[in-house]
Amino acid sequence: MRRPTSARERGSGSVLAVALLGALVTMTAVLVPLLALLPVSQSVQGAADAAALAAADVASGLMPGVPCVTAARAAELNGARLVTCSVDGLIATVAVSRTVGAFPIGSRARAGPAP
């Protein structure tokens, strides 16, 4: 037996469906840009690794040049900016950064001979 519906209840399912669709669209609009930052974060880590390795290669004498200048060039070629660079003996430590929209993404890396 079917329960009679009142005039007040008619169309309430449509309102609920529109509200759920609106919530889904809003969540998608917020999460997609944030999830798009994950590959960029990996890219910045790769740039930091490359910059540290380049600086360590120069510090060890394997490549000619100045360690931190070479690290800055390596970071730039990988789409990042060198923030800090220090060389202690044969060990190079660098920090790089990249800004995506309003989000700054940074990473640090160390490279040198095996202990």
Q: pLDDT (tens digit, 9 = 90+) per residue, 34-56? A: 788 888 899 999 999 999 999 99
The pTM for the full model equals: 0.72
| Alpha-carbon distances of 93 from 10, 15, 100, 104, rounded to whole Å | 67, 57, 24, 20
Cβ 53 vs Cβ 111: under 8 Å: yes
pLDDT of residue 100: 87
d(C-alpha 57, C-alpha 80), whole Å: 19
Q: pLDDT (tens digit, 9 = 90+) per residue, 51-67? A: 999 999 999 999 999 99
pLDDT of residue 6: 64
Q: Which sequence spans correspond to the domains of the chain?
A: 39-111
Q: Which amino acid is at 10?
A: R
Q: pLDDT (tens digit, 9 = 90+) per residue, 7-30? A: 666 777 888 889 999 999 999 988
d(C-alpha 83, C-alpha 104), whole Å: 12
